[in-house]
């Protein structure tokens, strides 16, 4: 039987365990452009960033700008901005990617799956009928249908028109 390979080179960093210890949500010292950091939107209170290791095409993260770990420590304004941005993001993803549904939630703490437990963020994952198949069940393999940078370039203009 012919061996088949699913190629996802951007996952190599994640699989190899070579993770950057800096917070992906906080401004870097190296002043990388937003495209390199996969930031689709940012203002004084909230930012939207693409998940570098997505569960599905269009997997986005919405976080407060303030470096904070606990949901209960967010201000009312931060909570409102995160949820308003979630609404706007859903509208954009429905228009551009046309998903059948969404998984939305917070992973609070490392044991709950938070990749960055020191900076709270909302996970927004578009879902399509049939997007979970035997690959994910047998070997935690996911098929991402569009390259991250290509998707970034598609989504970015939509986020520039948001005014919270």
* 144: pLDDT strictly greater than 80: no
Tokens of 5: 């390979």
Q: What b/e readout covers 57-89, taking b as 16+ CB neighbours within 10 angstroms?
A: bbbbbbbbbbebeeeeebeeebeebbeebbebb
- The domains located in the chain, with CATH, are 34-159 (3.30.428.10)
* 134: pLDDT strictly greater than 50: no
The catalytic residues are 121
pLDDT cut 70: percent of the chain above it:
74
* 66: pLDDT strictly greater than 80: yes
* 79: pLDDT strictly greater than 60: yes
């Amino acid at each position: 039987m012919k061996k088949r390979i699913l190629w996802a080179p951007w996952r190599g960093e994640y699989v190899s365990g070579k993770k950057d210890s800096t917070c992906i949500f906080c401004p870097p010292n190296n002043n990388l452009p937003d495209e390199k950091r996969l930031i689709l939107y940012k203002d004084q209170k909230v930012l939207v960033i693409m998940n570098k290791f997505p569960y599905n095409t269009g997997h986005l993260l919405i976080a407060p700008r303030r470096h904070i770990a606990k949901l209960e420590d967010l201000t009312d304004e931060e909570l409102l901005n995160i949820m308003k941005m979630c609404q706007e993001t859903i509208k954009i993803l429905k228009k551009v990617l046309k998903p059948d549904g969404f998984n939305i939630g917070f992973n609070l703490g490392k044991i709950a799956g938070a990749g960055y437990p020191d900076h709270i963020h909302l996970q927004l994952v578009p879902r399509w009928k049939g997007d979970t198949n035997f690959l994910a069940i047998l070997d935690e393999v996911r098929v991402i249908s569009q390259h991250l940078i290509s998707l970034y370039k598609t989504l970015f203009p939509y986020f520039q028109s948001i005014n919270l």
